[in-house]
């Protein structure tokens, strides 16, 4: 395929202006040392629409460039506001990557919930053997094989959806560029992965207010590693119980419980901090128009983390019914999260960010 | 606001003015900063700057090569035709590193030389984010001092000076005239590049076609007020840093993005499609710094940089797209030149180009034209491969050199050579003491910082 991948056909004016803004940036270059966007902008002679898509998805929204710019709206006719441009384009990119499913995220979530919860509840009543004698077992709520089947199906669905998004994104940014040798490395390299793990570009972001802070670094680290810890806990639980034959419940010093409590707590605190930062960012002038932050996904994180923690807590303190109730909500929230994930900017950005950073590292690290 | 009781009144809020205000504030003085612009446009010409030129040893602040004081001095002499050799120039060179140390100590961050500015990576240290980022850092720092007050929308309209002593000044603050008294005043208010009336005295009607690349705030009122009070001046009113910029640029404040770097890659013609200077005279920034004045002396102050597809992609593209056509004649039509004349000029130029083995645009390559007037001393490559490109050029005035004569303590002096008792000047308003024609990139920030600190110190002691 050649030519520009014109996903913004109905938004031509906006893209035209985005190209205009980046062209001015390319002839200025004062911001070069701020973030990965600028070495990439400055490496080309002319700016195309495909370039702009890529720059936008490399952008971390530090806003250093906005504060350093002598051409910002209200002070200069050039009207340069790159963070606003890139945020709008990121949102458009995400919509395009998920086939622009109609309806708001809220609607999607509601539909998902409507689909998932009855199924779980159906099982709950159909296999209603939680009061049967013997120790508490999660498989009494949902039996083992249906649970594995549903989880596997949902995992396949999520991975496929994200893979499709990745392929589409690659098409978007590579089209007409690099004379074909940009096929390099779809899978991220070691440098890129290490950078992501270390949150290399997360320092000193002008967020949630106008001043530089590390608040976003803080809550992103907590959500990122909290999520991984929770995943680790679940995986370890499966290994212990099903592969090693060690029956649950596990003692509180078991790695399963420790990982679960740590992950759940980090996710909870991280999500709450993120929500608070987002609410407070509404007061920052100049950046009100677009928000790429996914409110619902964070709520889902919170519900998953809290019910996970409660399930653990109730096992040691409360009655069986409470354990199963917490677990029921926990399962429902996880499945809801799975189903809505491909439509969530916060999940999609994992794919898009990784691919963009990988491309940047391929260009800039010898 | 209080109108008296200030130890020091600083006029202006660019780099030099802020260096003075910070120094005086750190010394515990009660300081008032009067900034003509509203808060969101503060910072004068400094917000368009990007680097400091400093003498340094290898390894200092990440530099991989040495730039000795002697070489720095010789570079200044080259661009000022040897005029500038005063002890002040030596002072700037010898203390240039201190300017950077001071800026670092006050929160300025640096970055590697920008792409396509490799010719400066040995001599200049680049500000991370450019001048406005540096100013933001200084304003934030200054905001911590309770003994310093910054007032925006405050334009100086009159200086009251008696017996070589500053008494008070009248400023229009948010539209109201206010008389402000202080024990000393530091003028960090820049030159007069945005005052078309004064420019007209020097340049006549050509002024109408000038593009002012820098701030629209520098009308030179404090400078002219001091001249009225008998201050000695340096430089001529037609001295300034004037470069060729894209003719489509805004009248004011276009900044760095208006520059056109294509000149050395082809030829430059005037409205009669005639060449009028040696486009290959020297490398950036010297050739670049003279092109503006040459264009200012051409009819209607318009010129066109013409080159071919071989050169597209070899320089930073300006903010506006080039004019592109498949023949020289149609290109001439598009830009309003006589097609036959432009064809003739290009043919003559091409005929004078050498059969060169290869052109090296990273330095003077010695591949000059043969017998042609004017000659092109380097990079004389034929314009023969369509499509053909053109950029329209106008004189772009960046700043002016006509300013106040100061002594080595940066104190303003009168026409008989005596210093005013309590009036200092720093930055562009006195840069003409060091540079009075030609320009070396990054020197303005070094001068502004050093004399800003000096003025702040001297006025405080």
Chain A neighbors of B115, CB-CB under 8 A? 29, 32, 39, 42-43
Beta-carbon contacts of residue B52 (< 8 Å; ≥ 6 apart): B96, B99, B100, B103, B124, B125, B127, B442, B445, B446, B449
Write out chain A residues lying below 8 Å of B111, CB-based.
32-33
- Within 8 A of A29 by CB-CB distance, chain B residues are 114-117, 316
Q: Which pLDDT tens digit goes with each residue over A128-139?
A: 666 666 666 777
- Higher pLDDT among residues A115 and B294, named by residue: B294
Question: A331: exposed, middle or buried (C-beta count within 10 Å: 0-12, 13-18, 19+)?
Answer: buried
Interface test with A, best of B42, B250, B257 (most A CBs within 10 A): B257
Chain B nearest-CA distance from A211, in A, is 10
d(CA A73, CA B268): 35
> How buried is A116 (Cβ within 10 angstroms: 0-12 exposed, 13-18 middle, 19+ buried)?
buried
Strand partners, B412: B406
Contact B42, B152 (CB under 8 A): yes
Mean pLDDT (whole number) for A137-142? 73
Tell me whether B230 touches chain A (CB under 8 Å). no
Lowest mean pLDDT among A208-212, A266-270, B103-107: A208-212
pTM for this structure?
Answer: 0.91
> pLDDT tens across B109-143, in order?
999 887 766 678 889 999 999 999 999 999 999 99
Q: Which residues of chain A have a CB within 8 Å of the CB of B319?
A: 23-24, 27, 78
Q: How confident is the model at residue A180 (pLDDT cuts 50, 70, 90)?
A: very low
* Residue among B111, B117, B318 whose CB faces A27 most closely: B318
The dihedrals phi and psi of B179, each to the nearest 5 degrees, come to -95, 130
- Whether B128 has its CB under 8 Å from any CB of chain A: the answer is yes
Q: Is the dihedral of CA A92, A94, A99, A100 positive or negative?
A: negative
d(CA A65, CA A86): 12
For chain B, the distance separating the N- and C-terminal CA atoms, rounded to the nearest angstrom, is 25
Q: Does B456 touch chain A (CB under 8 A)?
A: no
Helix, strand counts (H, E) of chain A = 14, 2
B112 touches chain A (CB under 8 A): yes
Within 10 angstroms of residue A259's Cβ, the number of other Cβ atoms is 20
Distance in angstroms (rounded) separating the CA atoms of residues A291 and B444: 41
Of B316, B317, B338, the residue nearest B329 (C-alpha): B338
* Spatial contact of A204 and A62, defined as CB atoms under 8 Å apart: yes
Return left, alpha or beta for B418; rule: phi > 0 is left, psi -120 to 50 is alpha, else beta: beta
- C-beta separation of B328 from B308 below 8 A: no
A238 CB contacts (<8 Å, ≥6 apart)? none
Residues of A in contact with B41 (CB under 8 A): 75
Query: CB A28 to CB B256 under 8 A?
Result: yes
Yes or no, beta carbons of A30 and B47 under 8 Å apart: no
Interhelix angle A320-340/A105-126, nearest 10 degrees? 140
Per the DSSP assignment, residues forming a β-bridge with B308 are B388
Task: Please give the torsion angle defined by the CA atoms of residues B80, B289, B253 and B204, in that order, rounded to the nearest 10 degrees.
Answer: 80
Checking if the pLDDT of A104 tops 80, the result is no
Of residues B198 and A319, the one with the higher pLDDT is B198
pLDDT computed for residue B188 by the predictor: 98
> Token pair for residue A212?
């530089």
Q: Are A136 and A323 contacting, i.e. CB atoms less than 8 angstroms apart?
A: yes
d(CA B185, CA B168): 9
Subunit contact B136:A68, Cβ cutoff 8 A = yes
Encoded tokens for A72: 């910002």
The residues, any chain, with a CB within 8 Å of residue B452's CB and separated by 6 or more, are B15, B16, B17, B18, B19, B20, B23, B188, B426, B427
The yes/no answer to whether this complex scores an ipTM above 0.90 is yes
The answer to whether residue A176 scores a pLDDT higher than 60 is no
Residue with tokens 């911590």: B144
Q: What is the mean pLDDT of residues A310-314?
A: 88
- Compute the residue count for chain B: 461
Distance from CA of B312 to the nearest CA of A (A): 9
- Cross-chain residue pair B114–A42, CB shorter than 8 Å: yes
| pLDDT-derived band at A174, boundaries 50, 70, 90 | confident
CB of B317 within 8 Å of a chain A CB? The answer is yes
Residues from chain A that touch B132, judged by Cβ atoms under 8 A, are 67-70
Helix axes A82-97, A345-364, angle to 10 degrees: 110
Alpha-carbon B220 to chain mean position = 15
Which residues of chain B does A64 touch, with a Cβ-Cβ cutoff of 8 Å? 129, 133
- Contacts B313 to A, Cβ<8 Å: 45
Per-residue 3-state assignment (H helix, E strand, C coil) for B303-365: EEEEEECCCCCCCCCCCCCCEEECCHHHHHHHCCCCHHHHHHHHHHHHHHCCCCCCCCCCCCC
Rounded to 5 degrees, φ, ψ at B122 are: -90, -25
CA angle A349, A350, A353 (to 5 degrees): 70
Smallest Cα distance from B344 to chain A, Å: 31
Residue A148 confidence (pLDDT): 84
pLDDT: is A113 or B420 the higher one?
B420
Helix (H, G, I), strand (E, B) or coil at A24: helix
List residues of chain A with CB under 8 Å from any CB of chain B. Answer: 23-24, 26-34, 39, 42-43, 45-46, 64-65, 67-71, 74-78
Residue carrying structure tokens 């926990």: A330
Q: Which of A27, A33, A69 sits opposite B128 (nearest CB)?
A: A33
B387 at interface of A, judged by CB pairs closer than 8 A = no
- Walk me through the domains of chain B, giving residue ranges and CATH numbers: 6-237+401-460 (3.50.50.60), 242-396 (3.90.700.10)
Helix or strand or coil: residue A213? Answer: strand
Per residue in B275-297, pLDDT (tens digit) is 999 998 876 555 556 788 899 99
Q: What is the pLDDT of residue A225?
A: 97
The pLDDT of residue A110 is: 64
**CA-based angle B143:B145:B146, to the nearest 5?**
110
Contact residues on chain A for B307, CB-CB shorter than 8 A: none
CB contact under 8 A, B130 and A65: no
Nearest of B281, B287, B231 to residue B411 by alpha carbon: B231
Q: Do B317 and A71 touch (CB under 8 A)?
A: no
State the Cα–Cα distance between residues B115 and B137, nearest whole angstrom.
Answer: 24
* Residue A18, token pair as written in the block: 């985005």
Within 256-285 of B, beta carbons closer than 8 Å to A belong to 256-257, 259
List of chain B residues whose C-beta atoms are within 8 Å of the C-beta of residue A43? 115
pLDDT of res. A345:
79
**What is the rounded CA–CA span in Å between residue A183 and residue A177?**
10
**Residue range A277-283: mean pLDDT, rounded:** 78
pLDDT tens string A61-75:
999 999 999 999 999
Q: Do B136 and A67 touch (CB under 8 A)?
A: yes
Look up residue A113 and give its two tokens: 């919930």
Closest partner residue to B257 (CB to CB) among A24, A39, A68 is A24
Residues in a beta bridge with B180? B169
- Phi/psi for B427 (5° steps) reads 95, -150
Q: Which of B114, B138, B259 to mutate to test the interface with A (most CBs of A within 10 A)?
A: B114
Residue of A27, A31, A68 with shortest CB distance to B257: A27
Is a pLDDT exceeding 80 seen at residue A118? no
3 state SS for chain B = CCCCCEEEEEECCCHHHHHHHHHHHHCCCCEEEECCCCHHHCCHHHHHCCEEECCECCCHHHCCCCECHHHHHHHHHHHCCCCCCCHHHHHHHHHHHHHHHHHHHCCCCEECCCCCCHHHCCCEEEECCCHHHHHHHHHHHHCCCCCEEEECCEEEEEEEEECCEEEEEEEEECCEEEEEEEEEEEECCCCCCCCHHHHHHHHHHHHHHCEECCCCCCCCHHHHHHHHCCECEECCCCCEEEEEEECCCCCECCHHHHECCCHHHCEEEECCCCECCCCCCCCCCHHHHHHHHHHHCCHHHCEEEEEECCCCCCCCCCCCCCEEECCHHHHHHHCCCCHHHHHHHHHHHHHHCCCCCCCCCCCCCCCCCCCCCCCCCCCCCCCCCCCEEEEEEEEEEEEECCEECECCCCEEEECCCCEEEEEEECHHHCHHHCCCCCCCCCHHHHHHHHHHHHHHHHHHC
What are the Cα distances from residue A2, in Å, to A23, A41, A93, A173, B54?
22, 21, 19, 12, 48
What pLDDT was estimated at residue A100? 52
Q: Which residues of chain B make contact with A71, given a CB cutoff of 8 A?
A: 255, 257
Contact B112 A32 (CB under 8 A): yes
| DSSP assigned state of A11 | G
Residue among A22, A30, A35 with most chain B CBs within 10 A, to mutate = A30
Q: Which residue has the higher pLDDT, A231 or A91?
A: A231
| Range with the poorest average pLDDT among A58-67, A81-90, A350-359, B433-442 | B433-442
Say what the pLDDT of residue A123 is. Answer: 67
- 10-residue mean pLDDT profile of chain B (461 residues): values are 93 98 98 97 96 94 92 86 74 96 97 76 94 97 97 97 96 95 97 95 94 95 98 91 93 94 93 94 62 92 96 88 96 97 97 86 86 92 96 94 94 96 97 84 95 98 90
| Nearest residue to B134 (alpha-carbon basis) of B257, B255, B8, B16 | B16
Question: CB B172: neighbour CB atoms within 10 A?
Answer: 16
**In the A/B pair of chains, how many CB contacts fall below 8 A?**
83
Model pLDDT, residue A311: 87
């Amino acid at each position: 395929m050649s030519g520009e991948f014109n996903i913004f056909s109905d938004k031509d004016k906006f893209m035209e202006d985005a190209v205009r803004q980046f062209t001015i940036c390319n002839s200025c270059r004062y911001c070069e040392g701020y973030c990965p966007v600028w070495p990439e902008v400055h490496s080309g002679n002319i700016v195309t629409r495909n370039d702009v898509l890529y720059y936008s998805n490399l952008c971390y929204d530090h806003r250093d460039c906005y504060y350093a710019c002598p051409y910002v709206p209200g002070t200069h006719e050039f009207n340069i506001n790159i963070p606003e441009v890139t945020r709008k384009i990121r949102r458009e990119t995400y919509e395009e990557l998920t086939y622009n499913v109609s309806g708001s995220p809220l609607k999607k979530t509601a539909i998902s919930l409507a689909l998932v919860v009855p199924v779980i509840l159906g099982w709950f009543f159909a296999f209603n053997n939680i009061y049967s004698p013997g120790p508490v077992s999660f498989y009494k709520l949902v039996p083992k094989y249906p649970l594995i089947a549903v989880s596997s199906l949902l995992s396949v669905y999520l991975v496929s959806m994200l893979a499709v998004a990745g392929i589409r994104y690659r098409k978007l940014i590579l089209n007409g560029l690099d004379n074909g040798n940009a096929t390099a490395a779809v899978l991220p390299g070691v440098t890129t992965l290490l950078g992501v793990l270390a949150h290399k570009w997360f320092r000193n972001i002008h967020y949630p207010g106008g001043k530089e802070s590390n608040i976003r670094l803080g809550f992103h680290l907590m959500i990122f590693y909290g999520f991984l810890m929770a995943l680790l806990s679940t995986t370890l639980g499966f290994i212990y119980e099903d592969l090693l034959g060690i029956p649950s419940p596990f003692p509180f010093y078991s790695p399963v419980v420790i990982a679960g409590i740590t992950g759940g707590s980090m996710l909870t605190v991280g999500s709450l901090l993120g929500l608070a930062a987002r609410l407070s960012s509404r007061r920052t002038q100049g950046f009100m128009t677009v928000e790429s932050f996914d409110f619902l996904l964070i709520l889902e994180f919170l519900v998953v983390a809290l019910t996970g923690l409660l399930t653990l807590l109730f096992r040691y303190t409360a009655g069986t019914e409470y354990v199963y109730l917490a677990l029921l909500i926990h399962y429902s929230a996880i499945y809801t999260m799975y189903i809505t994930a491909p439509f969530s900017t916060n999940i999609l950005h994992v794919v898009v960010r990784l691919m963009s950073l990988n491309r940047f590292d391929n260009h800039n690290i010898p | 606001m209080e109108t008296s009781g200030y130890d020091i009144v600083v006029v202006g809020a660019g780099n030099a003015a802020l260096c003075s205000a910070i120094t005086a504030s750190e010394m515990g003085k009660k300081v008032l900063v009067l900034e003509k612009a509203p808060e969101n446009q503060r910072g004068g010409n400094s917000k368009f700057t990007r680097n400091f030129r400093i003498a340094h040893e290898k390894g200092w602040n990440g530099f991989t090569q040495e730039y000795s004081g002697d070489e720095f001095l010789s570079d200044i002499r080259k661009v000022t035709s040897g005029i500038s050799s005063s002890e002040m120039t030596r002072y700037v060179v010898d203390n240039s590193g201190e300017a950077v140390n001071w800026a670092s100590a006050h929160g300025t961050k640096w970055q590697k030389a920008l792409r396509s500015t490799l010719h400066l990576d040995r001599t200049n240290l680049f500000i991370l984010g450019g001048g406005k980022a540096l100013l933001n850092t200084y304003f934030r720092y200054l905001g911590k001092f309770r003994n310093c007050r910054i007032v925006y929308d405050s334009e100086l309209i009159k200086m009251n000076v008696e017996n070589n002593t500053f008494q008070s000044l009248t400023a229009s603050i948010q539209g109201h005239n206010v008389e402000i008294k202080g024990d000393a005043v530091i003028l960090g208010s820049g030159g007069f590049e945005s005052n078309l009336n004064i420019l007209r005295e020097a340049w006549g009607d050509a002024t109408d076609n000038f593009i002012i690349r820098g701030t629209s705030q520098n009308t030179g009122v404090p400078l002219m007020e001091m001249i009225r009070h008998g201050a000695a001046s340096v430089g001529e009113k037609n001295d300034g840093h004037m470069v060729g910029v894209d003719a489509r640029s805004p009248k004011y404040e276009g900044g760095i993005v208006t520059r056109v770097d294509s000149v050395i890659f082809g030829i430059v013609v005037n409205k009669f499609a005639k060449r009028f200077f040696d486009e290959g005279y020297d490398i950036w920034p010297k050739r670049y710094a003279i092109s503006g004045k040459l264009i200012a002396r051409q009819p209607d102050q318009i010129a066109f940089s013409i080159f071919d597809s071989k050169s597209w992609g070899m320089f930073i593209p300006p903010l506006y797209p080039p004019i592109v056509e498949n023949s020289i004649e149609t290109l001439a039509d598009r830009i309003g030149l006589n097609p036959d004349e432009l064809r003739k000029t290009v043919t003559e130029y091409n005929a004078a180009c050498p059969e060169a083995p290869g052109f090296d645009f990273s330095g003077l390559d010695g591949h000059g034209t043969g017998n042609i007037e004017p000659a092109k001393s380097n990079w004389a490559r034929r314009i023969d491969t369509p499509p053909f490109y053109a950029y329209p050029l106008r004189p772009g005035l960046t700043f002016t050199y006509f300013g106040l004569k100061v002594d080595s303590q940066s104190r303003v002096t009168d026409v008989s050579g005596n210093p005013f008792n309590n009036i200092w000047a720093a930055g562009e308003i006195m840069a003409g003491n060091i540079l009075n024609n030609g320009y070396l990139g990054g020197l303005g920030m070094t001068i502004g910082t050093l004399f800003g600190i000096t003025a702040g110190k001297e006025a405080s002691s």
